[in-house]
Structure 1
Amino acid sequence: METQQLHRGRLIDHIQLVVRDLEASHAFYAAVLEVLDIPVIGTNADFFFADELVVSSADSPAALGVLTGRHHLAFQARDRAMVDACYQAAMAHGGRDNGAPGERAYHPGYYAAFVLDPDGNNIEFVFHGEAERSAPSVVIEF
């Protein structure tokens, strides 16, 4: 029997969004990532990236000229105040309201805000409450 440890928050290695207007997307994501304390660590004429998020233009060689379509991305916030600040930063940098900050019925303590980015992606900022801070990694035995 093999035992593997899964680390919470690491299901996805990276994601690429291919956008219509790279400059508008850069302004939007740089603003919200700054609130999340995640720096934009690389930029080029046709892409930028931060942590596991890569955003590129359709003319980027990796994009093959095709936009990615609409996605839902949820960014973890460390507390409710960070959710609120991300929502405000997003709204000030081209985001459109898709659900103001507040409690959600998904589980007790779920506090989130939703905005649409310049390409219409549903971007969520979420804090799962105090239970999130003490949640252990999950161990699965095969």
Structure 2
Amino acid sequence: METGEIYRGRLIDHIQLVVRDLPAAQRFYSAIFETLDIPLGGEGPGFFWADELFVSSADSPAAQGALTGRHHLAFQARDPEAVTAFYHAALAAGGTDNGGPGERPYHPGYYAAFVLDPDGNNIEAVYHGPAKRSAPAVHITF
């Protein structure tokens, strides 16, 4: 498997989901990633990946024969419209509603939607609001 650029210093390097129905998972994730402008990185016998998410079937050597449990994954969206597009694409691709698009109380500007993927994972798209610029540094000379 060939990967793109390696990023150092992040908390998460990659996440693996082991799913019951790989074609259903690939349809689902391909549809939602298209709305979020995340390209699939590649695929092979029993797996596919996008960015740091690796999805495989239980019979893939990397899975060691066991399905993963239920997880919550949140993907960043560029704007509220992308969150809404994610939600509708997810439902059309076999997802189940778990909280439609809207503001959430987590912090001001938190706009998100939640769906369950075909394996019951809670998948979210979130827009955190416009980027805040930090105040310019103030230099004091004595």
Name the TM tier (shorter chain): 0.7 to 0.9
Task: Report sequence identity in percent.
Answer: 70
Unaligned 5+ runs, structure 1: 1-5, 137-142
RMSD: 1.5
The aligned amino acid for 1:75 is F
Q: Secondary structure, in 3 states, of the residue corresponding to 2:61?
A: coil
The aligned amino acid for 2:112 is A
Q: Secondary structure, in 3 states, of the residue corresponding to 1:82?
A: helix
The aligned amino acid for 1:134 is K
Cα distance, 1:134 vs. partner?
3.0
Aligned pairs for 1:15-34 (under 5 A) are: 15-34=15-34
Q: What is the CA–CA distance in structure 2 between the aligned matches of 1:68 and 1:47, rounded to whole Å?
A: 14
Cα distance, 1:13 vs. partner?
1.1
Cα distance, 1:135 vs. partner?
5.8
Aligned pairs for 1:1-142 (under 5 A) are: 10-130=10-130, 133-134=131-132
Q: What is the CA–CA distance in structure 1 between the aligned matches of 2:133 and 2:83, rounded to whole Å?
A: 19
Q: What is the CA–CA distance in structure 1 between the aligned matches of 2:108 and 2:38, rounded to whole Å?
A: 27
Q: What is the CA–CA distance in structure 1 between the aligned matches of 2:83 and 2:133, rounded to whole Å?
A: 19
Q: What is the CA–CA distance in structure 2 between the aligned matches of 1:120 and 1:135, rounded to whole Å?
A: 37
Deviations 1:38-81 (A, max 9, x none): 11121112000010000000000010000011000000001000
Structure-2-length-normalised TM-score: 0.85
The aligned amino acid for 1:31 is A
Pick 1 or 2: higher relative contact order, CA cutoff 8 A, min separation 6: 1
Q: What is the CA–CA distance in structure 1 between the aligned matches of 2:124 and 2:49, rounded to whole Å?
A: 18
Q: What is the CA–CA distance in structure 1 between the aligned matches of 2:82 and 2:11, rounded to whole Å?
A: 23
Bigger Rg over Cα: 2
Structure-1-length-normalised TM-score: 0.85
Task: Give 4+ residue runs of structure 1 displaced > 4 Å after superposition.
Answer: none
Q: What is the CA–CA distance in structure 2 between the aligned matches of 1:89 and 1:108, rounded to whole Å?
A: 26
Q: 1:44 to 1:135 in 2, by over 3 A?
A: farther
More strand per residue: 1 or 2?
1
Q: What is the CA–CA distance in structure 1 between the aligned matches of 2:46 and 2:104, rounded to whole Å?
A: 37
Unaligned 5+ runs, structure 2: 1-7, 135-142
Q: What is the CA–CA distance in structure 2 between the aligned matches of 1:68 and 1:14, rounded to whole Å?
A: 14
Q: Secondary structure, in 3 states, of the residue corresponding to 2:87?
A: helix
